[in-house]
Structure 1
Amino acid sequence: MVALRSLITAAALACMSALYAENTSTAIFDESFRTLTVQIEGDRLAPPVLTLNSSDRLIIGFDRLSDERDYLRYTIRHCNADWTPSQLVDAEVFDGFNYADVTEYAFSRATTVHYVHYTIVLPDSEFRFRLSGNYLLQVYDESDPDEILLQQRFMVCENAVGVGGTATSRTDVDYNDSHQQLELQLDTRGYPVRDPFNDLTLVVEQNYYPASRRVITHPTRMQGDRLLYEHQPQLVFPASNEYRRMETVSVQFPSMGVDHVEYNAPYYNHYLNVDTPRFSRNYSYDSTQHGRFFVREYNSDNSDTEADYTIVHFTLDQPEIPGAAVYLEGDFTHRTCDSNSQVPYNPSTGRYERAMLLKQGAYNYRYVAVPPKFPVEGDKYQTVNEYSVAVYYRAPGERYDRLLGYSLIFSGR
Structure 2
Amino acid sequence: MRSFIFMFITMVFCSAFAEAQELSDLVNDPDYVKTVTFNKPPENMVPVYKLGETINISFDDIIGDEADYFYQIEHYDYDWKPSALFKNEFLRGVDDRRILNYRNSFTTLQSYSHYELTIPNQFTTALTVSGNYMIHFYNDDRELIFSRKFMLLDDKSLVGVAIRRARDLKFVSVKQRVEFFVDSEQINFINPKENLKVAIIQNSDLNTAIYNIQPQFNLGNKQLYDYDGPTSFWAGNEYLNFENRDFRSPNVNIDYVRRNELYESFLFIDASRLYQEYTYFPDINGNFLVTTTTNEDNDIQAEYLKVHFKLDSLAVLPENSSVFVTGNYNGHQYQDENLMTFNPQTNLYEVTMLLKQGFYNYRYTVIDENGIELPGLISGNKWQTENEYTVLAYYREPGGRYDQLIGYGSGNSANISN
TM-score of the pair, normalised by structure 2 = 0.87
Residue 39 of structure 1 is matched in structure 2 by: 39
Aligned equivalents of 1:373 and 1:159: distance in 2?
Answer: 34
Aligned equivalents of 1:21 and 1:233: distance in 2?
Answer: 35
Deviation at 1:211, TM superposition (A): 4.7
Residue 13 of structure 1 is matched in structure 2 by: none
Residue 182 of structure 1 is matched in structure 2 by: 178
Cα deviation 1:248-274 (Å, max 9, x = unaligned): 21221111111000112x111100010
Matched, 1:247 2:249: no
Amino acid corresponding to residue 392 of structure 1 in structure 2: Y
TM-score of the pair, normalised by structure 1 = 0.88
Whether the 8 Å CA contact 1:73–1:101 is kept in 2: the answer is: yes
Q: 1:327 to 1:398 in 2, by over 3 A?
A: same
Deviation at 1:67, TM superposition (A): 4.2
Residue 117 of structure 2 is matched in structure 1 by: 120
Aligned equivalents of 2:100 and 2:135: distance in 1?
Answer: 16
Q: 1:234 to 1:176 in 2, by over 3 A?
A: closer
Whether the 8 Å CA contact 1:388–1:409 is kept in 2: the answer is: yes
Q: Secondary structure at the match of 2:250?
A: coil
Amino acid corresponding to residue 270 of structure 1 in structure 2: S
Whether the 8 Å CA contact 2:27–2:145 is kept in 1: the answer is: no
Whether the 8 Å CA contact 2:393–2:406 is kept in 1: the answer is: yes
Cα deviation 1:102-135 (Å, max 9, x = unaligned): 1111111111011111111112355101111111
Cα deviation 1:269-304 (Å, max 9, x = unaligned): 100010001111111112111111111122112111
Whether the 8 Å CA contact 2:43–2:285 is kept in 1: the answer is: no
Residue-pair matches, total: 387
Deviates more, 1:363-372 or 1:208-217: 208-217
Matched, 1:168 2:164: yes
Q: 1:301 to 1:343 in 2, by over 3 A?
A: same
Deviation at 1:26, TM superposition (A): 6.2
Residue 156 of structure 1 is matched in structure 2 by: 152
Deviation at 1:58, TM superposition (A): 1.4
Aligned equivalents of 1:355 and 1:340: distance in 2?
Answer: 8
Matched, 1:306 2:308: no
Cα deviation 1:189-217 (Å, max 9, x = unaligned): 22221111111111112123345321143
The partner residue of 1:333 within 314, 326, 330 is 330
Q: 1:38 to 1:24 in 2, by over 3 A?
A: farther
Q: How do residues 270-285 of structure 1 correspond to structure 2 at under 5 angstroms?
A: 270-285=265-280
* Percent of aligned pairs with the same amino acid: 29
Matched, 1:229 2:225: yes
Whether the 8 Å CA contact 1:26–1:334 is kept in 2: the answer is: no
Aligned equivalents of 1:35 and 1:331: distance in 2?
Answer: 9
The structure with the largest alpha-carbon Rg is 2
Q: 1:202 to 1:289 in 2, by over 3 A?
A: same
Aligned equivalents of 1:144 and 1:377: distance in 2?
Answer: 43
Residue 290 of structure 1 is matched in structure 2 by: 285
Aligned equivalents of 1:220 and 1:171: distance in 2?
Answer: 16
Q: Secondary structure at the match of 1:262?
A: strand
Cα root mean square deviation, aligned? 2.1
The partner residue of 2:378 within 376, 379, 382 is 376
Q: How do residues 101-140 of structure 1 correspond to structure 2 at under 5 angstroms?
A: 101-124=98-121, 126=123, 127-140=125-138
The partner residue of 2:355 within 347, 354, 358 is 358
The partner residue of 2:264 within 263, 269, 274 is 269
Aligned equivalents of 2:193 and 2:391: distance in 1?
Answer: 17
Matched, 1:91 2:88: yes
Q: Secondary structure at the match of 2:391?
A: strand
Cα deviation 1:310-333 (Å, max 9, x = unaligned): 100000012441222111121113
Specify every segment of 5 or more residues in structure 1 that has no aligned partner in the other structure, as ranges: 1-19
Specify every segment of 5 or more residues in structure 2 that has no aligned partner in the other structure, as ranges: 1-20, 369-373
Matched, 1:100 2:101: no
Whether the 8 Å CA contact 2:42–2:284 is kept in 1: the answer is: no
Residue 318 of structure 2 is matched in structure 1 by: 322
Deviation at 1:337, TM superposition (A): 2.6
Deviates more, 1:403-412 or 1:172-181: 172-181
Cα deviation 1:33-76 (Å, max 9, x = unaligned): 22111124x78745211111x3x211111111234322222111
Aligned equivalents of 1:339 and 1:125: distance in 2?
Answer: 38
Q: Which runs of 4+ in 1 moved over 6 A?
A: 20-23
Q: How do residues 400-411 of structure 1 correspond to structure 2 at under 5 angstroms?
A: 400-411=402-413
Residue 15 of structure 1 is matched in structure 2 by: none
Deviates more, 1:355-364 or 1:167-176: 167-176
Deviation at 1:171, TM superposition (A): 2.9
Cα deviation 1:11-42 (Å, max 9, x = unaligned): xxxxxxxxx9876336313x2222111124x7
Q: Secondary structure at the match of 1:212?
A: strand
Amino acid corresponding to residue 301 of structure 1 in structure 2: E
Q: 1:243 to 1:161 in 2, by over 3 A?
A: same
Deviation at 1:374, TM superposition (A): 6.6
Residue 395 of structure 1 is matched in structure 2 by: 397
Residue 25 of structure 1 is matched in structure 2 by: 26
Deviates more, 1:323-332 or 1:117-126: 117-126
Residue 4 of structure 2 is matched in structure 1 by: none
Deviates more, 1:60-69 or 1:299-308: 60-69
Whether the 8 Å CA contact 1:210–1:336 is kept in 2: the answer is: no
Aligned equivalents of 1:369 and 1:22: distance in 2?
Answer: 29
Amino acid corresponding to residue 377 of structure 2 in structure 1: P
Deviation at 1:398, TM superposition (A): 2.3
Q: 1:102 to 1:362 in 2, by over 3 A?
A: same
Aligned equivalents of 1:98 and 1:87: distance in 2?
Answer: 18
